[in-house]
């Protein structure tokens, strides 16, 4: 589940425009929210269940932020930079979002420790992706908002790490 972006997979092979990059980000956030809601359904401890529901709601907010940012793109920002009559770029973007961050692997939901470790890894991967995103997001569209989301994802890691450490006490 690790992302291996050297200069950023966003710049390799296929050139992505800002619209496509925001589409990936929206999918990552949807995947994150689905992951946390799925986990919450299987948690008996009410406090822990609420933690995962709150994380899902934060991911929902991030998705809305990316949708808003995407709606502010100019037509130039949306120009497709490669000939793609079969929609291969869109399929690649979906696969990237679905397999790199919060992908639907089988998870041992009986182990809170494993759930937390998987969530921490996925949050780290999303941060790496968003840092790479900054290279293609126009300044006027909201690099600051992207920085804010990165900081929130970092706070998710701190929260999840704290929960993980509390299990070991």
Percent of the chain with pLDDT over 70: 66
pLDDT at position 27, please? 87
97: exposed, middle or buried (Cβ count in 10 Å: 0-12, 13-18, 19+)? buried
Write the DSSP assignment of the chain as a string of letters.
Answer: -----SS-GGGSSS---HHHHHHHHHHHHHHHHHHHHHHHHT--SHHHHHHHHHHHHHHHHHHHHHHHHHHT--TGGG---S--TT-HHHHHHHHHHHHHSS------TT-HHHHHHHHHHHHHHHHHHHHHHTTTS-HHHHHHHHHHHHHHHHHHHHHHHHHHHHHT-
- Domain ranges in the chain? 14-167
Measured at the CA of 9, the angle between CA 156 and CA 153, to 5 degrees, comes to 10
Asked whether the whole model's pTM tops 0.75, one would answer: no
Residues of the chain with pLDDT under 50: 1-14, 82
> Quick one: fold of 14-167?
Ferritin (1.20.1260)
pLDDT at position 5, please? 40
């Amino acid at each position: 589940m690790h992302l291996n972006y050297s200069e950023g997979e966003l710049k390799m092979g296929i050139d992505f425009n800002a619209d496509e990059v925001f589409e990936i980000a929206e999918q990552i956030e949807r995947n994150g929210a689905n992951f946390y809601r799925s986990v919450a359904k299987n948690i008996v401890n009410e406090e822990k269940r609420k933690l995962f529901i709150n994380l899902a709601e934060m991911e929902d907010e991030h998705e809305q932020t990316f949708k808003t940012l995407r709606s502010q793109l100019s037509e130039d920002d949306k120009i497709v930079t490669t000939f793609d009559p079969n929609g291969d770029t869109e399929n690649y973007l979906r696969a990237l979002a679905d397999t790199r961050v919060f992908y639907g692997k089988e998870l041992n939901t009986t182990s809170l420790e494993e759930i937390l470790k998987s969530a921490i890894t996925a949050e780290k991967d999303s941060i790496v992706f968003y840092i790479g995103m900054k290279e293609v997001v126009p300044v006027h569209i909201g690099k600051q908002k992207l920085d804010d989301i990165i900081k929130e994802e970092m706070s998710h890691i701190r929260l999840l790490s704290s929960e993980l450490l509390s299990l070991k006490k």
